[in-house]
Structure formats: C-alpha cells, structure tokens
Amino acid sequence: MPIYEYRCKSCGFQKDHLQKMSDAPLTHCPTCGAEGYTKLLSAAGFQLKGSGWYATDFKGSGSAPAAKPSDSAASSDTASATAGCGGGCACHPAS
C-alpha cells in the first residue's frame, strides 16, 4: 500500500497516511477538523519484501569484490571510466 503525505491548509499540520490506491482522499484534518486537508505530491514510499530479483540482483552484500592486480594502463582506464559517472552507479562497485 502506498504512503501518502497530507497537509492542512488551515493549521499547517502534516502527516503521512498509509492508504490503498482505491481509497478516497482524506479531507478532514485530524488536528483542527478543517476540510482543508489535502494530499501532497511527494516521492513514492514502498518496501520490497521477499526473495525476488531485487533481493538477489540489487541487494548490497556489504563488501566489494577484491581488486585484481593489473598493469598501470588498465588501472588508469578504470580510473577514467569511474570518474566519468562519479563511481556511484550500479556499474562501478563501491571500493
């Protein structure tokens, strides 16, 4: 179920609510009771559970694979390729 963020236009109260996608939006503020309680546009929040592809392919093991010894030309090529994308992507494991 998605988590929706709401804010009251009257008192400024803000809270996240876990709702089904088919549920009607909330309209009454739980703090002041005004009808100005509106859903905000925010990033989706969800959690993947189980042993699907996301757990086997993208879950971090906590350690990077050991580096292989190589000549200086190959290591400079690797350094320049890492520098191009910042090294924080999926194609360059953290060292």
Determine the pLDDT at residue 42: 74
Max mean pLDDT among 29-38, 46-55, 64-73 falls in: 29-38
Residue bearing tokens 């009251």: 8
- 21 domain-assigned: yes
- 76 domain-assigned: no
Quickly state the pLDDT bin for 14 (edges 50, 70, 90): very high
Determine the pLDDT at residue 61: 57
The span from the first CA to the last CA of the chain, in angstroms, equals 36
Residue bearing tokens 């090529």: 77
Q: What does pTM read for this prediction?
A: 0.44
Boundaries of domain holding 26? 3-39
- 73 domain-assigned: no
Query: Which residue has better confidence, 89 or 13?
Result: 13
Query: Is the CB of residue 68 less than 8 Å from the CB of residue 78?
Result: no
Average pLDDT along the chain: 73
Determine the pLDDT at residue 15: 93
What's the average model confidence in pLDDT over 25-49? 84
**How many other C-beta atoms lie within 10 A of the C-beta of residue 36?**
15
| Dist CA 79 CA 92 (whole Å) | 10
Number of independent structural domains in the chain:
1
